[in-house]
Structure 1
Amino acid sequence: MRRKILGIALILLAGLCLCLSLNQADKYRQAEKTYDDILEKYTKEKKVSKKKQDFVVDWKKLWKTNKDVVGWIKMDSGADYPILHGDSNEEYLHTDLYGDYNINGSIFVNADNSRDWSDPNTIIYGHRMNNGSMFGSNKKYMEKDYLKKHPDFSIYRPDGCYVYKIFNVMVVEDGTYPYTYQFPDKKSYIEYLSKVKQYSYYDSGITVPDARQIVTLSTCTYINHVKKRLVIQGYIRQIREYKGMVQKRKINILEDNAFSKTEMEDTNDKEID
Structure 2
Amino acid sequence: MDKLIFKISKNLLSVSVLKKDAPKEDLNNTNIIDTKELVFSKDYILENIELVSSFLNVVIIKREIKKIIIKDYDIIPLTIKIINNIPSIEELYLKPDKQINYKIFLALLENKHLKFLEVYDIPVYLLERLDINKNLEIKMRTEVFFISNFMIDNNLNTYSDLYYKKNIQINQLFTKEDIEDFNTFININRHLKLITINKFSQSMFNYIVEKLLEEKKSDIKIIITEEGNNLTDIYQTINKSKNEHDKLFKELNIEFKINYSLEYKRKNLIKQLNLNFIKICICSIIILILFLMGLNYYKNYSQARDIKNIEKELKHIINQIDKEYSIDNQDEDIEIIEGEPDYTAPTTTKSTYVSSYYKNYEKVFDTLLKINEDTVGWLTVNNTRIDYPVVKAKDNDYYLKRDYNKYRNSMGWIFMDYRNRIDLLNQNTIIYGHNIKDGIMFGTLRYTLNSSWYTKTANQIITFNTLNASMKWQIISIYKIPNTTDYLTTSFYSKEEYQAFLDMIVGRSIYNFNQSVTTSDKILTLSTCQNRGEERLVVHAKLIIE
- CA distance in 1 between partners of 2:432 and 2:381 (Å): 14
> Matched residue of 1:178: which SS?
coil
Instruction: Verify the 8 A CA contact 1:39 1:81 in the aligned structure 2.
Output: no
Q: 2:374 — aligned with what? A: 68
Q: 1:148 — aligned with what? A: 455
How far did residue 136 of structure 1 move? 0.9
> Matched residue of 1:28: which SS?
helix
1:75-94 matches, cutoff 5 A = 75-76=381-382, 77-94=384-401
Q: 1:136 — aligned with what? A: 443
Instruction: Verify the 8 A CA contact 1:215 1:234 in the aligned structure 2.
Output: yes
How far did residue 55 of structure 1 move? 4.3
For each residue in 1:217-237, what CA deviation from the matched residue of structure 2 results, as whole angstroms up to 9, or x when unmatched?
A: 000001xx6611111001112
How far did residue 64 of structure 1 move? 2.2
Q: 1:114 aligns with which of 421, 439, 443?
A: 421
Q: 1:51 — aligned with what? A: 352
For each residue in 1:167-211, what CA deviation from the matched residue of structure 2 results, as whole angstroms up to 9, or x when unmatched?
A: 101222445322222112434323321232232234333332573
- RCO higher in 1 or 2 (8 Å CA, sep ≥ 6)? 1
- CA distance in 2 between partners of 1:34 and 1:52 (Å): 22
Give the AA of the match of 1:191.
A
Q: 1:171 — aligned with what? A: 480
Q: 2:96 — aligned with what? A: none
Q: 1:95 aligns with which of 375, 383, 402?
A: 402
Q: 2:110 — aligned with what? A: none
> Matched residue of 2:431: which SS?
strand
Q: 1:75 to 1:135 in 2, by over 3 A?
A: same
- CA distance in 2 between partners of 1:24 and 1:62 (Å): 26
Instruction: Verify the 8 A CA contact 2:498 2:519 in the aligned structure 1.
Output: no
TM-score, normalised on structure 2?
0.40
Q: 1:180 to 1:173 in 2, by over 3 A?
A: farther
Give the AA of the match of 1:35.
E
How far did residue 68 of structure 1 move? 1.6
Q: 2:528 — aligned with what? A: 219
Q: 1:85 to 1:13 in 2, by over 3 A?
A: closer
Q: 1:117 to 1:174 in 2, by over 3 A?
A: farther
Q: 1:26 to 1:209 in 2, by over 3 A?
A: same
How far did residue 104 of structure 1 move? 2.1
Q: 1:55 to 1:127 in 2, by over 3 A?
A: farther
Query: Whose radius of gyration is greater, 1 or 2?
Result: 2
Q: 2:304 — aligned with what? A: 28
Equivalent residue pairs, number:
237
How far did residue 21 of structure 1 move? 1.8
- CA distance in 2 between partners of 1:70 and 1:6 (Å): 52
Asked whether 1:181 is paired with 2:490, we answer yes
Q: 1:41 — aligned with what? A: 317
For each residue in 1:233-254, what CA deviation from the matched residue of structure 2 results, as whole angstroms up to 9, or x when unmatched?
A: 0111223xxxxxxxxxxxxxxx
Give the AA of the match of 2:473.
Y
Q: Percent identity?
A: 24
Give the AA of the match of 2:355.
D
Give the AA of the match of 1:29.
R
How far did residue 118 of structure 1 move? 1.7
Q: 2:515 — aligned with what? A: 206
Instruction: Verify the 8 A CA contact 2:499 2:518 in the aligned structure 1.
Output: no
- CA distance in 2 between partners of 1:212 and 1:12 (Å): 55
- CA distance in 1 between partners of 2:444 and 2:476 (Å): 18
- CA distance in 1 between partners of 2:311 and 2:533 (Å): 30
Gaps of at least 5 residues in structure 1 are: 240-273
Instruction: Verify the 8 A CA contact 1:144 1:204 in the aligned structure 2.
Output: no
- CA distance in 1 between partners of 2:400 and 2:315 (Å): 19
- CA distance in 2 between partners of 1:226 and 1:135 (Å): 14
Q: Which moved more, 1:20-29 or 1:123-132?
A: 20-29
For each residue in 1:99-123, what CA deviation from the matched residue of structure 2 results, as whole angstroms up to 9, or x when unmatched?
A: 2112321111111112325201101
Instruction: Verify the 8 A CA contact 1:79 1:134 in the aligned structure 2.
Output: yes
Q: Greater share of strand residues, 1 or 2? A: 1
Q: 1:153 to 1:39 in 2, by over 3 A?
A: same
- CA distance in 1 between partners of 2:303 and 2:374 (Å): 24
1:233-252 matches, cutoff 5 A = 233-239=540-546
> Matched residue of 2:471: which SS?
strand
